[in-house]
Structure 1
Amino acid sequence: MIRSIQPVKLIIDTDPGVDDAIAILMALASPDVEVLGLTTVGGNVPLARTTRNALALLQAAGRSDIPVAKGASQPLRGRYTYSPQFHGPGGLSRRLPEPAMGAITEGAVDFLNDRLTRHPGETVLVALGPLTNLARLLREHPSALGQAKNIVVMGGAVNTS
């Protein structure tokens, strides 16, 4: 079958717990999506763990070619807390093997700025976790978010205290 449409370019900003893992795997499985990269943020679990989870998911899916850029470990205001009672201590099963590769040296904000300006009007930014990386991008590169084709946010929480 010949495909006549170009795949949607996607960057996923994520704090992988089970919910984000499903979204990432669905995007990777779709022939209509080209995942340009993942950026991680402290959220469901601390940043080191969200980054490890993102790398492990990509490895398990056979997509270690997709870059992962580490982002914010703390919110812009207030104090970072997470809820291990919902996501467990690691956010995902400990059965995922340790990833063989690491995150790229470029941080999330610079990665987002580079990819959005490299593909103006073509890239959909999907934020699945706290919006701290997007807030920092807006502060440091005010015009970058305007380069996104769309910004999709999965947001909201109940009883987080």
Structure 2
Amino acid sequence: MIRSIQPVKLIIDTDPGVDDAIAILMALASPDVEVLGLTTVGGNVPLARTTRNALALLQAAGRSDIPVAKGASQPLRGRYTYSPQFHGPGGLSRRLPEPAMGAITEGAVDFLNDRLTRHPGETVLVALGPLTNLARLLREHPSALGQAKNIVVMGGAVNTSGNVTSKAEFNFYSDPVAAEIVLSSRL
């Protein structure tokens, strides 16, 4: 079959627990998606573990060619509240092998700035964790996030209960300052 549609370029900002892992694996399996990279953020588990989980997922999927850039280890204000009751102490199964590769030296904010400005209007940014990396990108490179074709956020609770409190969803609860910065940016 001849494909006439170019794959959608995707960058996934993530704190891999089970939910993010499923989304990442679905993106990797899709012929309609080209994953340009993963950026990690503390959230479900600490940053070292989210980065390890991202690397292990890529290795298990045979996609160690995709770069992983480490991002924020703490929210803009306060500290992350981890959720081992949902994703276990490590965020994912301990059955994933220890990754043979490591994260790239470029941090998440610089990686996002570079890739979004390199592919203006072509890259979809999918945020599956707290919005700390995106808020930092807005602060350090104000025009970069506007270069994204679309921004998709897994966060917030509207007309329903939250999953942390009766009003709060985990990703926004983890860094409400970052969520406010990103959502009020009008992008």
| Offset at residue 135 of structure 1 (A) | 0.2
Unaligned 5+ runs, structure 1: none
Same amino acid, percent of matched pairs: 100
Q: How far apart are the structure 1 equivalents of 2:28 and 2:79?
A: 33
| Aligned residue in 1 for 2:54 | 54
| Aligned residue in 2 for 1:36 | 36
Q: How far apart are the structure 2 equivalents of 1:140 and 1:103?
A: 21
Which moved further from structure 2: 23-32 or 73-82? Answer: 73-82
Alpha-carbon displacement from aligned partner over 1:121-150 (angstroms, at most 9, x marks no partner):
000000000000000000000000000000
Which moved further from structure 2: 111-120 or 76-85? Answer: 76-85
**Greater length-normalized contact order (CA 8 Å, ≥ 6 residues apart):** 1
TM-score, length basis structure 1: 0.96
| Offset at residue 96 of structure 1 (A) | 0.2
Alpha-carbon displacement from aligned partner over 1:8-38 (angstroms, at most 9, x marks no partner):
0000000000000000000000000000000
Question: CA distance change for structure 1 residues 84 and 149 in 2, over 3 Å: closer, same or farther?
Answer: same
Alpha-carbon displacement from aligned partner over 1:35-77 (angstroms, at most 9, x marks no partner):
0000000000000000000000000000000000000000001
- CA RMSD after TM alignment: 2.0
TM-score, length basis structure 2: 0.83
Q: How far apart are the structure 1 equivalents of 2:157 and 2:103?
A: 28
Which moved further from structure 2: 78-87 or 6-15? Answer: 78-87
| Offset at residue 103 of structure 1 (A) | 0.1
Unaligned 5+ runs, structure 2: 161-187
| Offset at residue 159 of structure 1 (A) | 16
Q: How far apart are the structure 2 equivalents of 1:100 and 1:157?
A: 38
Question: CA distance change for structure 1 residues 96 and 27 in 2, over 3 Å: closer, same or farther?
Answer: same
Question: CA distance change for structure 1 residues 159 and 105 in 2, over 3 Å: closer, same or farther?
Answer: farther
1:5 aligns with 2:5: yes
Q: How far apart are the structure 2 equivalents of 1:72 and 1:117?
A: 21
| Offset at residue 79 of structure 1 (A) | 1.8
SS of 2:155's partner is coil
Q: How far apart are the structure 2 equivalents of 1:133 and 1:30?
A: 25
| Offset at residue 156 of structure 1 (A) | 3.3
| Aligned residue in 2 for 1:141 | 141
Question: CA distance change for structure 1 residues 77 and 60 in 2, over 3 Å: closer, same or farther?
Answer: same
| Offset at residue 78 of structure 1 (A) | 1.7
| Offset at residue 158 of structure 1 (A) | 11
Q: How far apart are the structure 2 equivalents of 1:121 and 1:159?
A: 32
Alpha-carbon displacement from aligned partner over 1:105-134 (angstroms, at most 9, x marks no partner):
000000000000000000000000000000
Q: How far apart are the structure 2 equivalents of 1:153 and 1:35?
A: 16
SS of 1:112's partner is helix
Q: How far apart are the structure 2 equivalents of 1:43 and 1:125?
A: 18
